[in-house]
Structures are given as C-alpha cells and as structure tokens.
Chain A
C-alpha cells in the first residue's frame, strides 16, 4: 500500500498562473480532506470530499480555490490566479470512512511557492 500520494512535491508558479495539486488516496479510501499550512501557522482545514461530492468546503477561500474528487482519478485542488499569499504547504489526507477512527492518513504535501 503506497499510502496517500501527492504530486507534485514542489510547485513554483508566477503570480496570476494556475496551480493544480493532486492527491491519490490510499487504496480503498473514498474520503479525502485538504489542509493548508501557512508559514508559522498550524494546519487549517480547507475541504472534505467524497467521491464526486463536496461535503464541506467551509475552509476554502471564497474565490479562486476549487476542489474535486471525480469518480475516477485523483482529487484535485485548483488555485486560479495565484498570489504570493497562496504560498504554503498543502496537505491531503484520506480515510476509509468519515473521521479519525478510520485510518485518517496524510500525504507528504505539496509545497507551493508563488513568485
């Protein structure tokens, strides 16, 4: 079992470009969560998805950010027209069912740098 796979590990984008972050959950996991870790800050919840459904996006910025988890393929976190303040580490986690009691496992993260 390869664990939760995130790619790319590092991503550099110029201001105004789009960033696409990918997360492949552990085998058999159908629940995916995205978190953001800003410099000197704790991890903050962004969004919770199940296959083809967004369950809770209360932590997502209202503009420029979107997430999906299609029936086939990885979950994608998309950031349009990136700004310097989007520079952060973005972590994905997956679980077999909802919550910590079901093997909630984190990936190694994608470190986004906006120049």
Chain B
C-alpha cells in the first residue's frame, strides 16, 4: 500500500527566501507524481507533473525533482512571495492504478512580507 509523507507539516519564511518542500513515498512503482497547491477553502491547483521516466520539471520559480529509487520528491520555490502562501500537496499515481491518487497531508507554507 502506497504511503506518502510530507515534511515539514508547516513552514514559515520571510519573503524572498528560497525553500524546499519534501515528499517521500513507500512504493517506487509509480506512474506519475503531481504537486498541487491548495488555498484555504478552495480546490486544488496543479503545479508540476513529473512522469516516472523524468527526473525534474520546472515552471517559473518552481522546480520539482523525482528520485524513484529513494522514494523522494522535492519542490523548490525560488524567491518566495506572500502570494505563495498555501498548502502544498504531493500526490502519487501508481500502485497498479493509473488513475487513483495517493496524497500526502501537505505542507502549510506561510511567506511573511
């Protein structure tokens, strides 16, 4: 059974700081890994999708990496802004299913002006 863990559970940083969010998973037989952003009371916004054959993806100030062998992914946010404040979720598509996502509990990020 796939288990996804995200650390830290919460992170508070000053504006402008670079930061790293961590995601670990127990079963390396994955199809894809997706990072989402969730704002309070809102739905999930897709950030970066990494396919199992890929090592990283980049979009603007965001960079996500994937190391299947160690069961780890990181989300790097450069030059953080107050608007980046949200909960960041890591989700794994795998375990014999190419549609069912297993989520971590998320990292609550607060960027202080």
Contacts and interface: CB of A to CB of B under 8 A. Distances in A.
Interface string B51-95: 100000000000000000000000000000000000001010100
A99 B99 contact: yes
- Say whether chain B's binding surface is mostly helix, strand, loop, or mixed: strand
Contacts of A106: 36, 43-46
A33 B43 contact: no
Given A105-B46, A106-B43, A42 B104 contact: yes
27 contacts: A6-B43, A33-B101, A35-B101, A41-B105, A42-B4, A42-B105, A43-B44, A43-B91, A43-B101, A48-B99, A56-B97, A59-B100, A91-B43, A98-B98, A99-B99, A100-B32, A100-B34, A100-B49, A100-B93, A100-B98, A100-B101, A104-B34, A106-B36, A106-B44, A106-B46, A107-B43, A111-B41
A106 to B, nearest CB: 4
A29 interface: no
Contacts of B101: 33, 35, 43, 45, 100, 104
Contact of B102 (A6, A41, A45, A107): A45
B44 A56 contact: no
A110 to B, nearest CB: 10
Interface in A5-60: 6, 31, 33, 35, 40-45, 48, 55-56, 59
Interface of B: 4, 31-32, 34, 36, 41-46, 49, 51, 89, 91, 93, 97-106
A113 to B, nearest CB: 13
